[in-house]
């Protein structure tokens, strides 16, 4: 899929998070440019996170509502610890996506344009297989439009559930 198609898809998803409610009770979702100083919680419908700065350490804990993440910068770590449905748009380069205790469906777009991007799965060993549409499934994480090389996926075991960690999880 082209970058234009990914951008149109991302724009549609973003508008869907921003226009919530009914005809007479519209609400807007929340957009945040997160920092690396603390963990984040997507505690309401319509949350979108924009990673605009290189070398950031974004960590999202226990978000049970759908969340969008747009990674428009490079060399980032974006971590999802026990999350609800996610849509992640990786529009940068050399980004690492980390997941643990994830049971909801996750969709990743743009990873086909990030050939140095990596995936780290904590506390699980998941099958890596084609998604039937030109992408790759790693458990319930669908990497659209990329035949993900298994060398880009690591599995790491920790002695604790990362979603219950009291602060930012150290990078490994």
Strand partners, 111: none
Per residue in 141-168, pLDDT (tens digit) is 999 999 999 999 999 988 766 666 666 7
H helical segments located in the chain: 3-18
Q: What angle do CA 37, 43, 47 make, to 5 degrees?
A: 80
Per residue in 88-142, pLDDT (tens digit) is 999 999 999 999 887 889 999 999 999 999 999 998 888 999 999 999 999 999 9
């Amino acid at each position: 899929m082209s970058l234009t198609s990914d951008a149109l898809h991302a724009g549609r998803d973003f508008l869907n998070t921003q226009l919530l409610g009914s005809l007479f009770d519209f609400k807007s979702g929340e957009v945040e440019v997160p920092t690396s100083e603390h963990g984040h919680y997507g505690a309401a419908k319509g949350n979108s996170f924009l990673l605009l700065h290189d070398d950031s350490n974004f960590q999202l804990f226990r978000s049970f509502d759908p969340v969008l993440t747009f990674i428009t910068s490079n060399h980032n770590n974006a971590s999802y610890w026990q999350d609800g449905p996610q849509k992640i748009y990786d529009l940068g380069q050399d980004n690492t996506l980390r997941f643990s205790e994830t049971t909801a469906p996750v969709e990743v777009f743009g990873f086909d344009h990030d050939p140095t991007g990596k995936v780290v799965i904590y506390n699980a060993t998941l099958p890596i297989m084609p998604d039937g549409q030109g992408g790759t499934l790693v458990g319930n994480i669908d990497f659209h439009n990329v035949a993900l090389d298994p060398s880009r996926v690591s599995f790491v075991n920790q002695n604790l559930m990362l979603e219950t960690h009291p602060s930012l999880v150290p990078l490994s």
